[in-house]
């Protein structure tokens, strides 16, 4: 764990008069605290993108990073399953054109080159701050379970291992994680570790973190871990002491 590494990223964002981190910045903070994130690289030029895609291995995904475009799907700046350098060159142009159409004034920090991940069971982990109680952590299944059914649970940070296990088992969708209809059980220990690391991160950086959203997180079969696919962090300007 490196609080210093996370603070470098946070202070860099705040120095640019921003409080909303782009996905790449948010994942650097998560990575500093040992949360599992994909092996991604930020390319600022097409040549860098081609080089990083070779290093990561095709197929790859492209995600344009801009502080003014936080809802990337709305702006059509996410391109998936790119299989060749020729396709990457074409999508590189397309993704920048879509960004210009969506927000002509958008500052483009680069394009994230990411591996295509094997799908897993989707969960969501969120953090909000209540003026009275402080930071709370939320857990639930992703997709329709959170959007329509609101099948989520909350605890005040910091949480214990017992709290984390209880959060996982008390949602209505827990049987899906436990292995419904003959499916292999999901890696519950990996989810417990994720919840504990998010709690530790936010407790440690409580002067800076206002909101956090890890969505989706892919959880694989028991013993095969989990990975944070997308992340969003909203900062607050710390009070001077």
Whichever domain contains 78, its CATH number is 3.30.1490.20
Residue 172 burial (10 A CB sphere; 0-12, 13-18, 19+):
middle
Same-domain pairing of 95 and 134: no
- Size of the chain in residues: 241
Residue 240 is predicted with a pLDDT of: 64
Same-domain pairing of 231 and 131: yes
Residue 222 is predicted with a pLDDT of: 96
Same-domain pairing of 112 and 188: no
Residue 77 · residue 99 · CB < 8 Å: yes
Q: What is the DSSP letter of 175?
A: H
In a domain, 219, yes or no: yes
Which residue range forms the structural domain that includes residue 209? 121-235
CA 188 vs. chain centroid, Å, equals: 19
Same-domain pairing of 129 and 216: yes
| CA dist., res. 205 & res. 201, Å (int) | 6
| CA dist., res. 224 & res. 241, Å (int) | 44
Residue 101 is predicted with a pLDDT of: 96
In a domain, 17, yes or no: no
134-141 and 121-130 as β-strands: parallel, antiparallel, unpaired? antiparallel
Same-domain pairing of 230 and 145: yes
Same-domain pairing of 111 and 127: no
| CA dist., res. 215 & res. 228, Å (int) | 7
Whichever domain contains 144, its CATH number is 3.30.470.20
- Mind listing the pLDDT tens digit of every residue in the chain (241 residues)? 589 999 999 999 999 999 999 999 999 999 999 999 999 999 999 999 999 999 999 999 999 999 999 889 899 999 999 999 999 999 999 999 999 999 999 999 999 999 999 999 999 999 999 989 999 999 999 877 777 778 899 999 999 999 999 999 999 999 999 987 778 999 999 999 999 999 999 999 999 999 999 999 999 999 999 999 999 999 998 676 5
Q: Rounded to two decimals, what is the model's pTM?
A: 0.93
Residue 1 is predicted with a pLDDT of: 53
Q: Which residues contact 6 (CB under 8 A, 6 or more apart)?
A: 28, 29, 32, 33, 201, 205
Tokens of 69: 């475009």
Tokens of 57: 């291995």
Phi, psi at 111, each rounded to 5°: -125, 125
Same-domain pairing of 52 and 130: no
| CA dist., res. 90 & res. 50, Å (int) | 12
């Amino acid at each position: 764990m490196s609080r210093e590494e996370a603070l470098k990223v946070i202070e860099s964002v705040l120095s640019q008069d921003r409080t909303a981190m782009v996905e790449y910045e948010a994942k650097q903070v998560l990575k500093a605290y040992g949360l599992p994130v994909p092996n991604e690289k930020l390319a600022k030029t097409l040549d860098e993108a081609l080089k990083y895609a070779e290093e990561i291995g095709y197929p790859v995904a492209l995600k344009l990073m801009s502080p003014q475009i936080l809802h990337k799907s709305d702006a059509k700046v996410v391109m998936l399953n790119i299989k060749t350098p020729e396709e990457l060159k074409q999508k590189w142009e397309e993704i920048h054109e879509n960004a210009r159409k969506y927000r002509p004034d958008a500052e483009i920090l680069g394009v994230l080159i990411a591996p295509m991940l094997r799908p897993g069971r989707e969960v969501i982990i969120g953090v909000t701050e209540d003026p009275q109680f402080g930071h709370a952590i939320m857990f639930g299944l992703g997709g329709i379970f959170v959007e329509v059914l609101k099948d989520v649970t909350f605890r005040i940070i910091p949480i214990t291992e017992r709290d984390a296990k209880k959060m996982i088992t008390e949602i209505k969708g827990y049987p899906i994680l436990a292995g419904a209809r003959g499916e292999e059980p999901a890696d519950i220990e990996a989810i417990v570790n994720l919840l504990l690391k998010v709690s530790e991160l936010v407790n440690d950086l409580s002067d800076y973190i206002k909101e956090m959203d890890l969505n989706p997180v892919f959880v694989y079969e028991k013993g095969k871990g989990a990975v944070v696919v997308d992340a969003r962090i909203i900062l607050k300007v710390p009070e001077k002491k």
